[in-house]
Amino acid sequence: MSLSQTVLHEMADRLHDAEKNRIPIEPLTSAYEGFEEENAYSVQNINAARAAREGKRLVGYKVGLTSREAQRQFNVFRPDYGHLFDSMAVLEETPIQLSGLIQPKIEGEIAFILGKDLKGPGVTIVDALNAVDYAVNAVEIVDSRIRDWKISAPDTIADNGSSALFVLSGLRKRIESLDLPSIGMAFSQNGEVRVTGAGAAVMGNPLSAVVFLANELGRMDKSLLAGEVVLSGALSSMLSIAPGDVFACEMHGLGRLNLRFAGKDAR
């Protein structure tokens, strides 16, 4: 169903205001009849253009809902994507403030750094292999501007893939040196391993996330560009975050990434 530009901009404004004021809203799918995936990407693009006007620089994309577990959790059965801006990048070991977030969660992912431009449609896993230079241990802090994470596919797509922040390890590995599906992950919270996972959880091969993204962007005549980062999607389930939490994401062949969240009294 095609919705008017007025309605789409109204949705984008609601999500923008929710993020700015840190007050979640009810699902857009329950407030707007006929709100579907195509409309949702239009809403996402409206807010991405707003971010660019505000001086934020696009540095890549995140792919989400790439594992069967995540899809079952939210009753969504197709991956999605969102934009990554420089303002969303956090340095490893830098205390992360929770005050700017609403209902954040955290997950371990593999990030890819492109060495060549990549444009769909028709991109294959071989094309992605030739275009990607490095794989990196990464963590994404996701957040939802939709109350209580009661999201469907159009809700999370409109909400920029429920993105918030991301952290990349400083260790880069050439992907030809890695067996990507077999990369094992152990994700610890306050010294205790909470979840484990493997690269194969991401569409059978995390590089498939790059293929999906390039082909989806290609439908809109957009390209992935050399130097951009692509977050593959989670290797395991999300974890909740509390002030003062310390996390460590260890991946075989990609090292260990450490991050911590500021305590309640931090300013």
Domains of the chain (ranges; CATH) run 5-260 (3.90.850.10)
Q: What is the pLDDT of residues 202-233, one digit of tens each?
A: 999 999 999 999 999 999 999 999 999 999 99
| pTM for the whole structure | 0.95
Chunk the chain into consecutive blocks of 10 residues (it has 267) and report each block's average pLDDT, rounded to whole numbers.
Answer: 89 98 96 92 98 98 88 80 98 92 97 98 97 98 96 94 97 95 98 97 96 97 98 95 97 97 71
The whole-number pLDDT of residue 182 equals: 97
Q: State how far the Cα of 238 lies from the Cα of 104, in Å rounded to an integer.
A: 10
pLDDT of residue 265: 55
The pLDDT of residue 93: 83
The per-residue pLDDT for 68 is 80
Half-sphere exposure of 222 (CA within 13 A, CB side): 11
Which pLDDT belongs to residue 257?
97
DSSP string, the chain: ----HHHHHHHHHHHHHHHHHT--B--HHHHSTT--HHHHHHHHHHHHHHHHHTT--EEEEEEE--SHHHHHHHT--S-EEEEEEGGGEE-TTSPBPSTT-SS-EEEEEEEEEESS-B--SS--HHHHHHHEEEEEEEEEEE--SBGGG---HHHHHHTGGG--EEEEEEEEEEGGG--GGG-EEEEEETTEEEEEEEGGGTTTSTHHHHHHHHHHHHTTT--B-TT-EEEEEESS--EE--TT-EEEEEETTTEEEEEEB--TT--
In this prediction, residue 2 carries a pLDDT of 75
What's the pLDDT at 266? Answer: 47
For residue 263, the model assigns a pLDDT of 87
